[in-house]
A and B are shown apart, each in its own frame.
Chain A
Amino acid sequence: MRLSEYVEGIGTGKKLRIRCRSCRKFLSDSRRHWKEKVPHKEYPLKRAGSLMSASTKYVLREFYCPSCRILLDSEVVEPGEPFLLDELKS
Chain B
Amino acid sequence: MTEILKGVDKVTFEVLRHRLWQITDEMAIMLKRVSGSPSTAQVHDFMVALYTKDGEILSGGFGVPWHITSASAACKHVAKKFASSIHEGDTFLLNDPYLAAIHQSDVYLVTPIHHMGKLVAWCANFVHVTDIGAIDPGGFSPRATSVFHEGMRFKGVKIVEAGELRTDLFDSIIGMSREPGMVALDLRSQIASNNVAKTRVADLIEKHGWKTIRAVMKGLIDFTEKGFRARLSELPDATWRTVQHIDILGKGYRIPLAMTKKGTDLLFDFEGASPQSPRGLNCTYWGALGGVMGAVFSLLCFGFPWNEGALRPVTVVAPEGSIINCRYPSPVSISTVAGTISAANGAITTISKMLGSSDKYSHEMLAVGNGCSCVIRQAGINQEGAYYVSGLWDWLSGSSGARSYADGVDTSGGQAGIMTMMQATNIESTESTYPLLYMFRGQSADSGGPGKFRGGVSGECCFTVYDAPEKRIDLIISGWGVEAAASTGLSGGYPGSSARFAMYKASEVEPLFKKAKITTDLVGVKAKVEELPPQWAGELSEGKYMYLRWAGGGGYGDPLERDVELVRADVEEELISKDAATGIYGVVFRDGIPSVDKRATLAKRKILRSRRHGEKIL
Contacts and interface: CB of A to CB of B under 8 A. Distances in A.
B552 interface: yes
Contacts of B484: 45, 53, 55, 57-58, 76
B103 interface: no
Give the size range of A's interface with the partner: 35 or more
B237 A88 contact: yes
A58 B615 contact: no
Nearest to B251: A57
A89 to B, nearest CB: 4
A51 B362 CA distance: 29
Contact of B612 (A6, A41, A55, A86): A41
Given A62-B612, A72-B492, 8 more contacts: A1-B236, A49-B450, A51-B446, A51-B500, A51-B549, A58-B252, A58-B483, A58-B485
Contact of A79 (B243, B552, B618): B618
B491 A4 contact: yes
Chain B contact residues, majority secondary structure: loop
B618 A56 contact: yes
Q: Give me the 6 closest cross-chain CB pairs, A-B, nearest first.
A: A39-B614, A5-B491, A51-B497, A48-B494, A71-B492, A71-B558
A51 B559 CA distance: 17
Interface in A3-58: 3-6, 38-45, 47-53, 55-58
Interface in B206-259: 236-243, 245, 247, 252, 254
A5 B557 contact: yes
Contact of B446 (A41, A47, A50, A86): A50
A84 B237 contact: no
Contacts of A48: 449-450, 485, 494-495, 497, 584
B357 A44 contact: no
A58 to B, nearest CB: 5
Nearest to B560: A71
B359 A2 contact: yes
Contacts of B612: 39, 41, 62, 64, 69, 71
A55 B237 CA distance: 37
B356 A5 contact: yes
A89 B262 contact: yes
B262 to A, nearest CB: 7
Contacts of B243: 75-77, 81, 84
B488 interface: yes
Interface in B570-618: 577, 579-580, 584, 609-610, 612-618
B556 interface: yes
A48 B488 CA distance: 11
30 contacts: A1-B236, A2-B357, A2-B359, A39-B612, A39-B613, A40-B614, A41-B613, A42-B616, A42-B618, A48-B584, A51-B500, A53-B485, A56-B618, A57-B247, A57-B483, A59-B618, A62-B612, A64-B612, A69-B610, A70-B560, A71-B557, A74-B492, A75-B243, A76-B488, A76-B495, A78-B252, A84-B242, A86-B239, A89-B262, A90-B236
A6 B489 CA distance: 14
B493 interface: yes
B556 A5 contact: yes
A86 B353 CA distance: 9
Nearest to B610: A69
